[in-house]
């Protein structure tokens, strides 16, 4: 007949008892066990100790307050629980490592007229509460170099970038035709999000909205700040 597995509470009692004995060189009292595993009733602790004794995990001297002795069987169970906890911790670490925090630098204009900025972007002092959490398998490039911008405007709606969305940017200072980039316009001291096209003697910053016209600028007035690698939709 198969032995009934230990309950969660019984496993906790074994784990605590073993750890207590390793640290203090003596077994705990019933009250100490109850406090450690959050059992208020000493009779409930006694009941579970009795079950553990029946199953061969410990022996008890009922005439003394610290009369517990763990058997070799208990040590095997404690080691198994510890191994399971270590495996669970490893799994949690693996999940955490599969995500990256991307700092939000500020706003970027996707409108008919670029948003005015101070410096290169309307930057914010980094507040980690504003960071965007992104799965690493959705990203290209080096995650530690990425940054995020909040989109303001609707000039890129046909590229599935809407007002209030967040774009994840890969820093770069050159662009290929057709890439969606963050561009700083020196003459207007403003930044905008558009598709980049280098034409004869000029740069065309093309919106993805048929209701809006492209922006034409001198190449010397354009400074590429980064390329869009991911769009995060604003929750509805």
Q: Residue 118 has what pLDDT?
A: 42
DSSP tag of 174: -
What's phi and psi for 86, nearest 5 deg? -65, -40
Residue in 155, 186, 213, 227 annotated catalytic = 155
The reply to whether 8-97 and 99-232 are identical in fold is no
Domains of the chain, residue spans: 8-97, 99-232
- Nearest by Cα to 167 from 104, 230, 94, 93: 230
Query: Which residues lie below 8 Å from residue 161, measured CB to CB, with a gap of 6+?
Result: 110, 151, 167, 180, 193, 208, 228, 231
pLDDT digits (tens, 9 = 90+) for 20-65: 888 888 888 888 888 888 888 888 888 889 888 888 888 887 776 6
Provide CATH code, domain 8-97: 1.10.10.10
Rounded Cα distance between 66 and 31, Å, is: 10
Q: What is the 3-state secondary structure (H, E, C) of the chain?
A: CCCCCCCHHHHHHHHHHHHHHHHHCCCCCHHHHHHHCCCCCHHHHHHHHHHHHHCCCEEECCCCCCCEEECHHHHHHHHHHHHHHHHHHHHHHHHHHCEEEECEEEEEECCCCCEECCCCCEECCCCHHHCEEEEHHHCCCCHHHCEEEEEECCCCHHHCCCCCCEEEEEECCCCCCCCEEEEEECCCCEEEEEEEEEECCEEEEECCCCCCCCEEECHHHEEEEEEEEEEECCCC
The confidence band for 208, taking pLDDT boundaries of 50, 70 and 90, is: very high
- Known catalytic residue at 142: no
CB atoms within 10 A of CB 95: 9
pLDDT at 90 over 50: yes
pLDDT digits (tens, 9 = 90+) for 91-148: 545 544 577 888 888 888 876 655 555 444 544 455 566 788 887 777 766 677 788 8
pLDDT digits (tens, 9 = 90+) for 166-200: 999 888 889 999 999 999 888 777 788 999 999 98
What token pair was written down for 37?
Answer: 């595993």
- Known catalytic residue at 155: yes
Q: Residue 112 has what pLDDT?
A: 60
pLDDT at 16 over 80: yes
Determine if the pTM surpasses 0.85.
Answer: no
CATH 3.40.710.10, domain 99-232, yes or no: no
């Amino acid at each position: 007949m198969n032995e009934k597995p230990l309950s969660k509470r019984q496993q906790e009692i074994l784990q605590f008892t073993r750890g207590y004995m390793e640290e203090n060189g003596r077994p705990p009292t019933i009250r100490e066990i109850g406090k450690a595993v959050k059992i208020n009733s000493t009779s409930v602790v006694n009941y579970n100790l009795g079950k553990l004794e029946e199953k061969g995990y410990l022996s008890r001297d009922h005439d003394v307050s610290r009369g517990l002795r763990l058997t070799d069987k208990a040590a095997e169970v404690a080691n198994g629980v510890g191994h399971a906890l270590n495996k669970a911790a490893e799994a949690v670490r693996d999940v955490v490592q599969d995500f990256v925090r991307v700092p939000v630098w500020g706003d970027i204009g996707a409108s008919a007229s670029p948003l005015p900025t101070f410096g290169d972007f309307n930057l914010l002092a980094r507040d980690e509460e504003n960071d965007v959490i992104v799965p690493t398998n959705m990203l290209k490039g080096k995650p530690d170099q990425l940054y995020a911008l909040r989109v303001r405007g609707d000039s890129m709606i046909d590229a599935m970038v809407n007002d209030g969305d967040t774009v994840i940017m890969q820093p770069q200072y050159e662009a290929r035709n057709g890439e969606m980039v963050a561009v700083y316009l020196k003459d207007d001291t403003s930044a905008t999000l558009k598709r980049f096209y280098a034409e004869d003697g000029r740069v065309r910053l093309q919106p993805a909205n048929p209701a809006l016209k492209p922006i034409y600028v001198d190449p010397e007035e354009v400074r590429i700040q980064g390329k869009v690698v991911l769009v995060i939709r604003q929750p509805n």
